Amino acid sequence: MKFQDLGLDPQLVKAVEEIGYEEPTDIQATTIPLIRAGRDVFGQSSTGSGKTAAFGLPILERIQHKGRIQVLVLVPTRELCEQVAQEFVKFSKYKSVKILAVYGGVGIGQQIKNLKDTDVVIGTPGRILDHINRRTLDLQNIKFLVLDEADKMFDMGFVRDIRKIIQYVPKARQTLLFSATISSDIIHLAKNYMVNPEKVKAEEYVQTGKLKQIYHNVTVGDKFSLLVHLLAQEKPTVAVVFCATRKRVNSVEKNLKKYTSVLAIHGGLTQSKRNSIMDLVKSGEVNVLVATDVAARGIDIKTVTHVFNYDVPKTSKDYVHRIGRTARAGETGKAITLLCPEDHENFRHVLADSDIDVAEQQDFQRLQFEVIRTDRQRFNHRRFSNNRGSARHSNNRRWR
């Protein structure tokens, strides 16, 4: 099947073909006809399944530039917001519609100005609600409401924001919801805010037959040394190393710089900095990206060959999202977990839904790992040292 077989506007088909899309994915072939027919759609599909085109193409077909917001797409993270907006811009190359990404972490002034002449808004719930409260966002003309990666938005605590936002959207609209996993909260949302939705479940875009999953037993003290050894051994085109916290991300990045080209990405960085980092990775100038789960959500780097779990995620769902960064669109990939005794509880949750093989024991050089102190820790350390010095002098005076 080709995209023109779906009956889409020839302008959209031309843009899609120029991007390099040849045949629609499973979710696209199933969902596009339903949306074109005016149905609400409740789709279960993983990251990388092509769902942005699945809802973006039929939506763009139905709108023209009118200088007022007709489409609202809610996404969980800034990275995904940028990614979806960029995809919409590519799809609408031959249509005169205006697309705007709206998220926090950047100045709001330019967003307010651009909202006055925009057709499609892709935004994070917090910033969208901020604009609503400021009365700088008018949702009275919304024809399409899309909830993308709804499960992650719920995990991040956006459920109340989403419900508040929906109150400002006309009831006479088409609602599209996409989620990698289905929970009771998501089912409740669908029942309350969708009209007889058509349920669609896409085939997994990450092909497990092409994804090798292994874990290495290692002590906490040797985890970094093993990571350096494996990076040298595996020679990834691009590797994503997942850590549990921003502090861990920064420490691993700083130490890895002695051995490879690496950058870190997490929520503590400005959006412009995060964008520049992604550009360097996509251009091939950097081949290792150390990231937190939240910051990596929505990252789409087609050259990722390896995913490393430096810290084991707490849930099976988070593990699936991580490994979904590789072995996509028919390519092979490898997911490697560094398992120390402190990770065993989390790993049991992961193993409940994933088949992961134990790796052969490795011989590797033990390397020094420098722990980065935060500014607060440095201050407390200096204060503690000064207090100890004061107490020592005081005692000396006392016993003289």
What does the pLDDT look like over 275-328, one tens digit per residue? 889 889 988 899 999 999 876 566 678 889 999 999 999 888 788 878 878 877
pLDDT attached to residue 341: 93
DSSP 210-249: GEEEEEEE--GGGHHHHHHHHHHHH--SEEEEE-SSHHHH
Please say if the pLDDT value at position 393 is more than 60: no
- Report the pLDDT value the prediction gives residue 295, as an integer from 0 to 100: 60
Among 59-73, 113-127, 317-331, the minimum mean pLDDT is found in 317-331
Of residues 388, 393, 309, the one with CA closest to residue 354: 309
Contact 337, 215 (CB under 8 A): yes
* Distance, CA of 46 to CA of 63 (rounded, Å): 27
Per-residue pLDDT, averaged over 76-97, amounts to 93
Tell me what pLDDT residue 217 has: 95
Q: List domains and CATH numbers for the chain.
A: 3-201 (3.40.50.300), 208-372 (3.40.50.300)
